[in-house]
Amino acid sequence: MQGIGEQLLEKGIPVSFSEPMRLHTTLRLGGNADVFVQPESEAQLETALRLIHASGEKLTVIGHGSNLLVRDGGIRGVVLMPRLCTYAFEGDCLIAGAGCMLHTLSEAAAAKGLAGLAFASGIPGTLGGAVFMNAGAYGGEIGDLFVSAVAYTVLGERVTLTKEEMAFSYRKSGLQESGAVLSKVCLQLTPGKEEAIRAEMAELAIKRRDKQPLNFPSAGSTFKRPENAFAAQLIDHCGLRGTWVGGAQVSEKHAGFLLNRSGTSKDFLDLMALVEKTVYEKTGIRLESEVRILGEDE
């Protein structure tokens, strides 16, 4: 495993070994990644993908880790976290690296008097991760703004992706099937007034503080919204609000959030399983995880 890491280091690409994944997830959970790679340019991303493919090592690509649970045994092979963090405006379009944080882009758009990204101002993730899962909040989704993207296949081949090719749907995109790694994304924004945009962002921030348990590690909403229902309401209806398994807890403030209260990934997974089982037995509705689960058990 040191072999591919050393090859990447020789190319000047940032690499670390046995990297604790709890440092790279908002849940603050997870074992170590064998090799952890953070390309800082499109050229480094292309080189890294080509070398990793040639090595035959398993590749896992992540964003900021705000919608990610890594099991206690960690991740074998190579974990790649692109750090492409530059952005620019071309008219009403925002062209940004996949590693840009959503709150940074929301602030920049507001300062330019461009509306459309206010809904994303409180999502603690990267643009790449948001496109991968078609992240959304308060009636907005990143797929609504998407125009095109530059990405690389696992072979390191540069491709351009259209909105049609992305096939966005609720918490899904074509990237989940193709495995392509985003480099930069073009978003179509709308002219507006900075004061009004910032007022909307402030209003949404208040809603988040009032309704969401922001004082404990979480991955946001743990389960997807079932058809004609809401996961939080179902969990609450089943009497699960505040339920503990080990060091993991169903939030007392918002039952749709499962929290890490000094537990392990196994605690969190066991709590998820308990919630899913109880809700199905009492309502006949199967909850589906919104959180991406990676790695292996300890």
Residue carrying structure tokens 């959304």: 136
How does DSSP assign 61-78, residue by residue?
E-SSSTTEEE-TT-EEEE
Q: Which of 22, 71, 171, 292 is catalytic?
A: 171
Contact (Cβ atoms closer than 8 angstroms) between residue 115 and residue 189 = yes
296 as an active site residue: the answer is no
157 as an active site residue: the answer is no
The radius of gyration of the chain's CA atoms, rounded to the nearest angstrom, is 19
Contact (Cβ atoms closer than 8 angstroms) between residue 154 and residue 182 = no
With the CA atoms of 262, 100, 136 and 151 taken in that order, what torsion angle do they form, in degrees rounded to the nearest 10?
A: -110
Q: Which of 66, 265, 290, 292 is catalytic?
A: 290
Q: Which of 121, 221, 251, 265 is catalytic?
A: 221
171 as an active site residue: the answer is yes
Helical H runs in 112-243? 127-133, 142-145, 163-166, 175-178, 194-211, 231-237
Active site residues: 171, 221, 290
